[in-house]
Every structure is written in structure tokens, then in C-alpha cells.
Amino acid sequence: MKKWLFILTSLFASFAFGNAPDNETHEFSGKHFFGSYTNCDKSALGDVEGMLAAMDKAVLASGATILDRTHYVFPPNGLTVVYLLSESHASIHTYPEYGACFVDLFTCGDHCSPVGFDQILREYLQPEDISARLFLRHDGVEEVPVHNF
């Protein structure tokens, strides 16, 4: 039993701490999108089921893989949703009484894009004002102009 525990622990440690086999490569990079949408359609923003469906669709449109989702409703209809993704995470925090929300999408690697995520949420929420930023994360952090993503 101790031998198997040692083997499993060693395997976990080698992957968790970057000691993957020599024939595997990993690009240490990611994209982190932040958005603030204000003056949104208050009925869309306050529709909890509609908001959950829009977020599901937006996350999938980014190309990410949803592993799990949890949410909490702040009565009567404020909402926080957090997604655990194979690539990292996504979230939204809504303030229906103010017609506003904050969104966040972080994905590792380069196969996901925040473009579809942002587009789906803009279509659903119809914000009049948007402040969005995209950061490329690697051994450093650099901002990319929004029109370039």
C-alpha cells in the first residue's frame, strides 16, 4: 500500500509542479479578459435563469470547457456565477438595481478567445457603456488593445 501511495504522490507532484515528461511541452500563457457593462437592460440582467443561460452560452462561445458551475442569488435577483473551466475560470457579478455587472474570463493556452464570450454577453445585456480590458499573461503581464482581441 505504501508503494502505491508513493507512486501516486510522485505522479501528482510531477504534473502539479511542472516536472512533466521531457516529450511534453507546455506554453505558460493565458488570456485574462475583464469587462464592466453598465446601463444594461435591467430585465435581462435581473432574469436569473436567462442570465445563467447567457453565461453558459458565452463561456462555451469562448471555446472553453466547463467542468463545473456554481451560483448564488442575492435576493431578489442579484447574481454571482463562477465557472471552473478546464482552461481556468469565468465569473459574473450582477447588480440589477444599478443595471450593471462585472465579468471575468481567464483561459490558459491559446485555443480560447474572449471574443465570443464578450459578444454573447453584449447581445444579451445590451449595455450602453462598456469598459473592457484584455491582458496576456505569461512570465509577465501585458495589456492588449481591446480592438486587437
Q: Is 134 left (phi over 0), alpha (psi -120 to 50) or beta?
A: beta
The question of whether 88 is a catalytic residue gets the answer yes
Question: d(Cα 102, Cα 130) in Å, to the nearest integer?
Answer: 10
Question: d(Cα 24, Cα 109) in Å, to the nearest integer?
Answer: 14
* 122 membership: H or E segment, kind and range: helix 114-125
Identified catalytic residue from 62, 108, 112, 113: 108
Question: d(Cα 30, Cα 32) in Å, to the nearest integer?
Answer: 7
Identified catalytic residue from 88, 101, 112, 113: 88
SS3 20: coil
Provide the annotated active-site residues.
88, 93, 108
